[in-house]
Chain A
Amino acid sequence: MSETAIIAAPGAETPGAARTGDMPVLDVDRLTIVARSPAGDTPLVEDLSFELRRGETLCIAGESGSGKSMTSLAIMGLLPQPAVRVAAGSIRFGGDDLTSLDERAMRRIRGDRIAMIFQEPMTSLNPVLSIGRQLIEAIETHTSETRTQSRARAIEALKAVRIPQAEQRMRQYPHELSGGMRQRVMIAMALALRPDILIADEPTTALDVTVQGEVLELLRDLQREFGTSIILITHDMGVVAEMADRVIVMRQGRIVEAGEAIPLFSAPREPYTRALLDAVPRMGDGMKGTAAARSVKPVKPILSVDGLTVRFDIKGGLLGRTTHRVHAVENVGFQIGNCETFSLVGESGCGKSTIAKALTGLVPFTGNVRLDGVPVSGLDREGRKRVRRDIQMIFQDPFASLDPRMRVGDLVGEPMVIHGIGSAQERRDRVAALFERVGLTADQLDRYPHEFSGGQRQRICIARALALRPKLIIADESVSALDVSVQARVLELLKELQNDFGIAYLFISHDMAVVENISDRVAVMYLGQIVEMGTRDQIFSDPRHPYTKRLIDAVPVPDPSRKRHRFPRMDSDIPSPVYPLGTGPVRNALVDMGEGHLVGAVS
């Protein structure tokens, strides 16, 4: 963002104009944050210095544990004291050192001059107050305006973040809004008071990729209008490239590299930065992959799904009768071949995870599902158990999917106990072998899940899924929660295991770049139906359906010199899949465009 743009901006405050130029808005000098522990103080952030200039976007990038969030909390004066505190250094803002201000002085600055938005908008909004009330309250805390004035200002703020029908939205509660809308409300709340600095901590991580595109675009627009300085904290190098004027790369509490975005991306000096950039899955990389050769016609289908439909009843009325149904999955059909990776992509609520749950027997479904030629529905207890053995699942959050009170060795061995495979000794040997295979060591068997890192936990889940030698593994967003470098390694492991054991994968993800890198064939889902299906090359080099195109367009590219053209904004939310009883969505007929490239009709 250039300086001239700020001065020209109508929203820029007049006293600010005098301070433009090289005067930094925020000056962090040799900041050290420590956590108290029995063994003495452990540094979380060490010797961190940076300046934030008026109207610029500074990205702090780093993986989990790099201290980036601690830095933002320190600026806001929100460190969980006394466990974590600033041990040395200063944070200069205006004429004050924020590290030495007391809570009352900090409260005046917080929200008013420095505002923050968090990753998860649902948890940062109060669920029992309407968004209008929360906005008005935020404004009233810091100004002496009357209720009517505050209200007008709140509506103005909602309009500024492009929320349609702002007046009506004021009465709505957080749960009535979609994730993207909620994050916009958070941004409106943060910007309503025209702060000098906006700290955005992973603002789009919890959002769908198309929504992410919209939110980032909005942040850029607002910055241009108001001249706010933004500190954007993110792990996503694509987002960094898209937003940053300057970048700080952090690792384990220290700055690894800092500088202007374009030179940093084109010629990173530090090996860590280079490695971080290399680990980012890029669109287009998959084309060069060797897997492309394999993606010809599958030999024989391991899983064939036909007319899969999942509906959930919504009961209402006095007598609690079913009045509406959620059409979560509607008439979906696909086949997964031997040793093939088939990906389902789509945004939240499109039904992709419901398909996984249906296939693993967690939700009832109608339709014809055959595993290795044998139908999986209408089985007795024993039959169902046999099917379970052949379809295994890896969940998104490895910590949530492992019983925290069991040792990991027992967890990995448990599937064999359930299916009565081997003696205790054989099982132990196999568990140890599996541990080694997924890159862990056998002496870790007696530990509990919380003693491992995120990537290691996901490896444990993979070992667990492999224990029964399944024919198909469903990976539901299995790498989404991991840092990019860890993600790359886990994906590599999955590919290796596929070659070793000949497993087919059903890979479910919202991340187009990951999907492109790992898949043989891809199906794009929208509102419970497949809108496009084909080989990876067909989908990514020749997308036909507008939704597929939109999804691919929305992926941030980790290359700041290729700043994106304006992203088309959708003014409405994704329509709801809830229909009154007796009606339903229009079934989308797929048309073959040649060589098995199926495309749905555009409605």
Chain B
Amino acid sequence: MTPNIMLVDDQPPRAALLERALEDLGHGVQARLTSAAGLAGKVRAGAPALVLVDMDAPDRDALESLALDGDDALPRPLPLFCDDEALVVAALRAGVSAYVAGGSDPAWVREVVAVATARYREYRALREELEGGVADPAAQAQIDAARRLLMRRRRFNEPAADAALRRQALNTGQPLIQVARSLLAFADLLKARGGP
């Protein structure tokens, strides 16, 4: 039986990316929660082998308190489970914390935590790019062109067009420039076929 993973993340696109990445590697995701409310009860009921939770979720303290129950089947903070300090630090720096049930396979835990760390890090880089603007002027010109296209075709105002581009970037896990390029390429394709 594959051990079960519980994902707790209030940013659904990030959780979806992570779930896909884990399932591609054959790891079963038991539950994806967008809110950490009542987390301790859900963890008791669902008995996951591993809980991956946004480091900033307020309900983490309830998870921490489970470690004091003395029940080895309840997940405990990752540092109590493994000595791999580099793994723990990398995960926390990326913004994800992990809780592990006793008796889990250490190699499996390491692999899953590494995948989560990589996805969180990627997602953060993406967000920073979206919030910080794009350094390359050529790329910025393409993003501007994609925005104008949306404003013209979909009658969006500028903030709405921006929001649509960003949403698409976060939902697909692609950099903004990638989203802009595919949008422009698709428009060219339509034009070549005599579309609108």
Indicate, yes or no, whether A interacts with B. Answer: no
Taking Cβ atoms with an 8 Å cutoff, the residues of A that contact B are none
